Structure 1
């Protein structure tokens, strides 16, 4: 499939970019997308949550009442979770939420995400550009030219470009990544995916291994 290549002013350059059907026009696998997004979000969790349990509470260890004859349930310690100030029963413990996902599933998920965006006409191909110095205003002008300044936008570069990255860093709705950093979550989270020409070859080679 062919897509028009735009310049930084949002004008058609007259050139066409060929998007591989094996990456941008497959039948999306929604379950693979779900699993990859789930793994990405799980890996963001610190898992440092912790509640004090019965053995960690400071308090008396004496038996607080006799075993029988009170007419109420037996109780051996004031640190029990059934009493105010006692330990938390079955509370959270530090853990790792990450889980393994097959590489082929991750590739399928990214191709499915790109195909969904292509089908929704949410992919824009932009010619390679650079800034002389990092300046947010320059990046904002590019967003305005592409009419995406009020949308969540993902820019995908072929190689790391410090000036472009630093120019976008202060903008909450925009993110700049390289083709090797592309993830299913970032694709699906964006309203518009802007692919620079230099990134197309890297994306297709990474996802067609």
Structure 2
């Protein structure tokens, strides 16, 4: 059983949050699966907009430069050939989509494994709630500092879309805000600290409607 104190924005403890690790992962954490899923997300972020001209795209005549025999020079075709300066590329780069998708069950399992690893590594903070009536960056920065997450790469997970929290934290460096339904293994692993509300944890553990994708 994992038990972690529930804190408020002042850093004061207001109880504890408990859950069984088997509610997330039945068995050990598979590091290879986590690696494969992270590579999948990073491949999807690659920009494949690159292109060079082939010999058919280069401007110039298709006429043979000079006759085949009798000139004393090497045999040559037209000026577009890749062996000549200004010619096209023999195997030129083309636009490419690097993205691919692993099986949905594997991606969902990796998300749960990454979430469990945050608690096992003591890199998770459970928050009772943000309680923001309006966007206030100063409140979020002060709250993260009180929770011990100031100055580090932090992922904030909310129960559903909380526009006040999102607008308050979007200008804070190295801070990302995600609803529980959009949580993924890549975002969990690329941030040092996880700050999650009790309502979001209930959703992630199946006690609510949201399920990690």
Q: Do Structure 1 and Structure 2 share a fold, with TM-score over 0.5? A: yes
Unmatched 5+ stretches in structure 1: none
C-alpha distance after superposition, 1:89-120 (max 9, x if no partner): 22221222221211111122112212322221
Matches within 5 A, 1:31-110: 31-68=32-69, 73-110=74-111
CA contact 2:25–2:109 (8 Å) conserved in 1 = no
Matches within 5 A, 1:40-189: 40-68=41-69, 73-189=74-190
Unmatched 5+ stretches in structure 2: none
- Whole-angstrom distance in 2 between the partners of 1:197 and 1:70: 84
C-alpha distance after superposition, 1:158-209 (max 9, x if no partner): 11111110000111210110111111110000000111101012112225x9
With over 3 angstroms needed to count, the CA separation of the structure-2 counterparts of 1:30 and 1:145, relative to structure 1, is same
> What is the deviation of 1:73?
5.0
Q: How many residues align?
A: 207
- Whole-angstrom distance in 2 between the partners of 1:69 and 1:115: 77
For normalisation by structure 2, the TM-score amounts to 0.88
C-alpha distance after superposition, 1:128-165 (max 9, x if no partner): 12212212111111111112221000011011111110
- What secondary structure, in the 3-state scheme, does the structure 2 residue paired with 1:3 have? strand
- What secondary structure, in the 3-state scheme, does the structure 2 residue paired with 1:150 have? coil
For normalisation by structure 1, the TM-score amounts to 0.90
Q: Which moved more, 1:77-86 or 1:192-201?
A: 77-86
